[in-house]
Structure 1
Amino acid sequence: MVEESLERRPGGRGGALYSLRVYPAFRLLFGTTLATNAAFWMWSLLSGWLALVLTDSPFFVGLTGFLNGIPMLLVSLPAGVVIDRIDRRLVLLAAQVVVAAVTVLLVALLWLGRLQPWELLVAAFLSGAGMAFVFGTRSALVANLVGREALANAVALTSMAQNAPRIVGPALAGPLVGAIGLTGAFAVCALFQLLSVAITARLPRIRPAAGGGSFWRAFLEGLETVWRREQLLALMALAALPTLLIFPYMNFLPVFARDELGLGATGLGVLMALNGLGAVLGSVVVAARRHYGESPRVLVVSVSLFAAAVFAFAHAPVAWLSGLFLLVAGVTGAMYMAATNTLLQLAVEDTVRGRVFSVYLLTWGLLPIGTLPAGAVADAWGAPLAVSVLTVLAMLAIGLVTLRFPVLRQTTLWPERSRTAPRIG
């Protein structure tokens, strides 16, 4: 819980921006999320482009994405225990400092002209490790900063803050590369990261949700919570599939832009910005319509449409059509992610929230596992075939998981309680 009583200001009960109007502390979390994710999406574009410039190899682009994502698989579970036992504000602050320091060091190496490909791989890994803590802590913090009545709205707004920078970040990074070079563009990325640190420092202190005891026992408790609740197990299974089989397409956008569409860094930035615009629109829909974020059925439909949109993007012959399909992928992908986050927030108590979300983030660790073999296929037969194979497998797997877990075909995870959620905190 927040160290002081949860501060609230008078405001209307409805509307897409309800949590921002009523909860000042949530506004700070929203602001630091905007800054962090602006840097994150700039990093995604710049590191992929830098990998391509350094090596001219789609496989190395995939390897960079692999090493940036694999820490999610390695550290998310122990990170969950830390998030539940230590002031979440301090955990978030420390993680953001690490990420900013890595980018500043990368800027220095670029400025000195001494950056080697292997050093980019190390930077990608360290940055990914820091972001694993950032994502987990930020997800757990949402329920600490708003009341229960605002939780679904706050989750959707957090998703909006995560996705809005996908418009600004890449759209800014592409032209910056042309105007001031990769070194200058990475320096701007570092400034956004430092801004996020400054905002996070103003968040209220959060009392640890869990008590002491064995670290190992606390670690296992998070896994047991997911395994014993069918609703959570279904959500985790459905979360793992798009991470493994759909989202790897993001790492190959530089390859699509240059090799398939004949675009430069600016064109790549436009494509990523369109994808981000779609994600913002999807988040707004979920924020404005609470029941969208609380329905497993919406979750299944949106993730299926997400896979179809990415498949269509892989076969688009011209840039404008690629942008259109990326826009649709952004809308449906954001609706899927917002619904997943809302359902998870409503399904768990605060004492295990960090650990349950660390299991969810563990599914994001599957991203590099899908990216690395896809990079090898893209090297040999082209990025369109690699992405097509992954998305077809995704659609088949989504169907199988939906059949396995009947709860995913319902309009609520708790039909016996109508639309009443479990107690939070």
Structure 2
Amino acid sequence: MFRALRIHNYRLFFLGSVVSNTGTWMQRIAQDWLVLQLTGSGTALGVTTALQFLPVLLFGLYAGVVADRFPKRALLLVTQAVMGTTALVLGVLEVSGAARVEHVYALALVLGLATAFDNPARQSFVVEMVGKEDLPNAVGLNATAFNLGRVVGPGIAGLLITAFDDRTGPVFLLNAASFVGILGALVLMRPEELKTAPRVARGRGALREGLRYVRSRRDLCTILLVTFCFGTFGMNFQVTMALMAQQTFGKAADGFGLLGTVMAVGSLTGALLAARRERPRLRIFLGAAIAFGVLEIAAGLMPTYALFAVALVPVGIASITALNSANALLQLRADPALRGRVMALHVFVVFGTAPLISPLVGWVGEHVGPRWSISGGGVLSLVGALAGAAYLLRAQRAGLPLGAPPAAERPVPVAAAQSG
């Protein structure tokens, strides 16, 4: 289950990620709670989430070109340093009593800009550390690191906020310190052991080339479209869980943090199961996406806080199974020279559409009810997953190719096109 950890560079990356992810999840809880303290508005919570993901919408696809063009390790050193700095600034503002919602908005935007360039570089960097053979295991372990932080971080954040009389500043400062883990891991890596992909030469058309490549692949298109549906409409937990905790069940910060921890238990379980699989499969991805939609609808209908918390465990299992499967499938099926751009599209469909939908989700939760936000997202996620499964089934019955197009139809990499 842990075979990728035998690789020195990946072992450092994994350990650093556990530390950093814990701090990141602490900040997510603290940021949402601070916005609710400052405004009491679900719409403001949605706006904060939207601003954090707006750069992914605006620059996410170009970030894939950057990931294919520059050394990914150097890129990650820059993006992670910027993300840690935003946490430090927000912590200082809150501790000094100067924090206003405008500050949260501005720093969420800066954090989102760093994240937009961080995500495709980080995801496509995994295969450079471990190679294709160990990639599915490493993707599962990445999700394990992410969700270990998700299990521990929200609960710690809720307890700290309560212990400091509803102050969130100490949580932001601890998150800033946690970035030392991942930055140290990147610095201590052995560059000669990385299996670097060929870099894209400078020139026009690199982004269009990536889009044409994905469009020529039925399998990649379906994975991305299904992921778009549950990522955009179903995975708005930053908004919906905060509103459910505060408005539906009347809970304080510790109750909100506990919901994040409970859901992370399910996500961690899904990540560990993913790490055990030898190869990702399309049917597992589609089955998990369908299950996610059904389970989210059910979670939104739960009558009590305890039942809602219990329902979040299988929701977490299904969501991380679908996301991990999509991640591994895309990386293994994509041309190495285009992998950064393909993964940028993946990040875009999961997070880049949040600026468009999060304010609406917050408005619906505030004015109609949080249950409508959750169950409605589940319905739209389920429709997308069923449509994707039906499309692939029809294509298979018609004998249409799902994988790579014939060699004559494949796009010519930019670097190769310019070398002659």
TM-score by length of 1: 0.88
Q: Tell me by how many angstroms 1:112 deviates.
A: 2.0
Decide whether the 8 Å contact of 1:296 with 1:407 is kept in 2.
no
Q: Tell me by how many angstroms 1:367 deviates.
A: 2.5
Amino acid at match of 2:199: A
Q: CA separation of 1:82/1:372 partners in 2, compared to 1, >3 Å: closer, same or farther?
A: same
Matched, 1:269 2:257: yes
Whole-Å separation in 2 of the counterparts to 1:376 and 1:271: 21
Within the candidate set 145, 149, 152, 1:165 is matched to 149
Structure 2, unaligned stretches of length 5 or more?
406-420
Match of residue 380 from structure 1? 367
Within the candidate set 197, 216, 232, 2:183 is matched to 197
Match of residue 328 from structure 1? 314
Amino acid at match of 1:210: R
Decide whether the 8 Å contact of 2:270 with 2:321 is kept in 1.
yes
Q: CA separation of 1:34/1:301 partners in 2, compared to 1, >3 Å: closer, same or farther?
A: same
Amino acid at match of 1:17: F
Match of residue 286 from structure 1? 274
Match of residue 414 from structure 2? none
Decide whether the 8 Å contact of 2:64 with 2:343 is kept in 1.
yes
Q: Tell me by how many angstroms 1:208 deviates.
A: 6.2
Matched, 1:105 2:76: no
Q: Tell me by how many angstroms 1:263 deviates.
A: 1.5
Decide whether the 8 Å contact of 2:364 with 2:370 is kept in 1.
yes
Whole-Å separation in 2 of the counterparts to 1:359 and 1:335: 19
Within a 5 Å distance, the mapping from 1:1-20 to structure 2 comes to: 16-20=1-5
Match of residue 393 from structure 1? 380
Q: Tell me by how many angstroms 1:165 deviates.
A: 0.9
Match of residue 362 from structure 1? 348
Q: Tell me by how many angstroms 1:415 deviates.
A: 12
Whole-Å separation in 1 of the counterparts to 2:170 and 2:31: 13
Match of residue 249 from structure 1? 237
| CA deviation vs aligned residue, 1:153-185 (integer Å, no higher than 9, x gap) | 111111211222110110111101112331111
Matched, 1:117 2:117: no
SS in 1 for 2:198: coil
Q: Tell me by how many angstroms 1:252 deviates.
A: 2.0
Matched, 1:96 2:80: yes
Match of residue 82 from structure 1? 66
Q: CA separation of 1:39/1:407 partners in 2, compared to 1, >3 Å: closer, same or farther?
A: farther
Match of residue 6 from structure 1? none
Within the candidate set 238, 260, 263, 2:248 is matched to 260
Q: Tell me by how many angstroms 1:233 deviates.
A: 0.9
Q: CA separation of 1:296/1:407 partners in 2, compared to 1, >3 Å: closer, same or farther?
A: farther
Amino acid at match of 2:40: D
Match of residue 315 from structure 1? 301
Decide whether the 8 Å contact of 1:86 with 1:208 is kept in 2.
no
Q: Tell me by how many angstroms 1:134 deviates.
A: 2.1
Matched, 1:58 2:47: no
Structure 1, unaligned stretches of length 5 or more?
1-15, 417-425
Match of residue 24 from structure 2? 40
Whole-Å separation in 2 of the counterparts to 1:173 and 1:102: 17
Whole-Å separation in 1 of the counterparts to 2:219 and 2:7: 29
Whole-Å separation in 1 of the counterparts to 2:319 and 2:231: 11
Decide whether the 8 Å contact of 2:197 with 2:336 is kept in 1.
no
Q: Tell me by how many angstroms 1:407 deviates.
A: 8.1
Decide whether the 8 Å contact of 1:96 with 1:130 is kept in 2.
yes
| CA deviation vs aligned residue, 1:93-140 (integer Å, no higher than 9, x gap) | 100011111111111211221111111111111111112222211111
Q: Tell me by how many angstroms 1:386 deviates.
A: 2.1
Whole-Å separation in 2 of the counterparts to 1:283 and 1:222: 29
Cα RMSD over matched residues? 2.1
Q: CA separation of 1:319/1:409 partners in 2, compared to 1, >3 Å: closer, same or farther?
A: farther
Whole-Å separation in 2 of the counterparts to 1:249 and 1:226: 29
Aligned residue-pair number: 396
Within a 5 Å distance, the mapping from 1:167-182 to structure 2 comes to: 167-180=151-164, 181-182=167-168
Match of residue 3 from structure 1? none
Match of residue 124 from structure 2? 140
TM-score by length of 2: 0.89
Decide whether the 8 Å contact of 2:161 with 2:253 is kept in 1.
yes
Decide whether the 8 Å contact of 1:296 with 1:413 is kept in 2.
no
Amino acid at match of 2:252: G
